[in-house]
Chains A and B, each alone.
Chain A
Amino acid sequence: MNHLPLEILDALLDEQLAPGERADAHAHLAACADCRAELDARRQLFATLDALADEPLAVDLAPRVLAQIEPTPRAWWIAALTVAEMAAAIALAVWLGGTLVPLFDLLPDFGAALTAIQQAAIDALNAIHIEPLETVPLDGLVLGVAIVAWLLTNWLLIQFPKQKEVLV
């Protein structure tokens, strides 16, 4: 006599057999003492697992979880850095404005606007009797330093929110 595959016995105990398969399995079990014994052994394992007691949790996790999901307050220096970065970007645009114009051949309106902004800044400085800065040619070194500074400050701004409070 062929015995029932062990997977079928497990599926029977798990109540995962289709009605027809279940009926076939029960019919076989009624006639096969070996399969009944195997089923009992597997049932014993299931009972052993079911009897596993829960472990009491000694601490309340709620305060820790709530502290961790609290939005991280932005430090004053993050705000200062953001403002400084914006100011530096505007200053750089004004300073390099004239030399950047050729880069915007495809966007003539933008180039003209940039030149106009630069001229307005120079006029404003003249109006308050401050010697305007000389515009500089677009130099590789200047551009490189500006890009590195921009990347560095953005990296700092991105990194800061990742620093969460360490909870014990």
Chain B
Amino acid sequence: MALAAAQRGNWVRTSRMESFENASDGELVARTRAGERDAYGELVRRHQATVYNIAYRLVGERETARDLAQETFVCAFSALASFDATRPFAPWIHRIATNTTLNWLERQRVPTVSLEHDDTEPAREIPDESNDPARALLVQEQNARVRRALIALPPRQRAVIELRHFQDLSYEEIATTLGIPLSDVKSDLFRARQHLRKLLVGER
């Protein structure tokens, strides 16, 4: 009898998981608000890789990025009541991730590092699909170089680069997300790019 109940419980859980997989983000938000915590689990699974990568680009450390991604989802859950369900979930969670990470960086007052600084952790990038080991290595090295250049920037400049280049926000949207004037967005973006260009492309 207990076994039957357990099997029934598993069946209910499995069928609910399947219904989550087919649900839109908006439906999952509504179901989370209605008290279905597993619906939020599905939202986390859908967006965790992107959120993790936002944090990773900003902090340059895998473990810290994982912790910050986790913190992002916990914060977002607390703020879910304020989420406008008529808008897409992804940009909302990405902005929370950026701000959570930026706040963390500002609390740490992380010193900037030089491009020549050796990455202690070996790069573990997605292998290149061309199956050309030399090319894959080149891509890996280039990725590591870009990441080192990004974390050499002051935190707010990193954030504007993240929001503009990786989240494709307009200048006005960046200003709103970070709560800074439009003129600061433009100057931070300009300075960050000048710095990155020096590090990655070389001065003309």
Q: Using Cβ atoms and an 8 Å threshold, which residues of chain A touch B124?
A: 55-56
Q: What is the predominant secondary structure among interface residues of chain A facing chain B?
A: helix
Name the distance in Å between B202's Cβ and chain A's nearest Cβ.
9
Cβ-defined contact, A55 with B56, below 8 A? yes
Q: With the chains together, A61 CA to B147 CA distance in Å? A: 23
Is B134 interfacial (CB-CB < 8 Å)?
Answer: no
A-B pair number, CB within 8 angstroms: 106
Interface-facing stretch out of B8-16, B66-74, B98-106, B109-117: B66-74
Q: Using Cβ atoms and an 8 Å threshold, which residues of chain B touch A62?
A: 41-42, 44-45, 48
Is A131 interfacial (CB-CB < 8 Å)?
Answer: no
Cβ-defined contact, B56 with A68, below 8 A? no
Is B186 interfacial (CB-CB < 8 Å)?
Answer: yes
0 or 1 for each of A56-96: is its CB under 8 Å from B? (1 = yes): 11011111111011100000000000000000000000000
Closest B residue to A61 using CB positions? B48
Is B197 interfacial (CB-CB < 8 Å)?
Answer: yes
Cβ-defined contact, A65 with B190, below 8 A? no
Cβ-defined contact, A48 with B146, below 8 A? yes
Closest B residue to A52 using CB positions? B146
Name the distance in Å between A1's Cβ and chain B's nearest Cβ.
18
Q: Using Cβ atoms and an 8 Å threshold, which residues of chain A touch B73?
A: 61, 65
Q: With the chains together, A41 CA to B204 CA distance in Å? A: 8
Q: Using Cβ atoms and an 8 Å threshold, which residues of chain A touch B52?
A: 55, 57, 61
Q: Besides A41-B197, A60-B45, 4 other CB < 8 A contacts?
A: A7-B190, A61-B69, A62-B45, A66-B37
Binding site for A on B (CB under 8 A): 37-38, 40-42, 44-45, 48-50, 52-53, 56-57, 62, 65-66, 69-70, 73-74, 77-78, 124-126, 139, 142-143, 146-147, 161, 164-166, 170-171, 186, 189-190, 193-194, 196-197, 200-201, 204
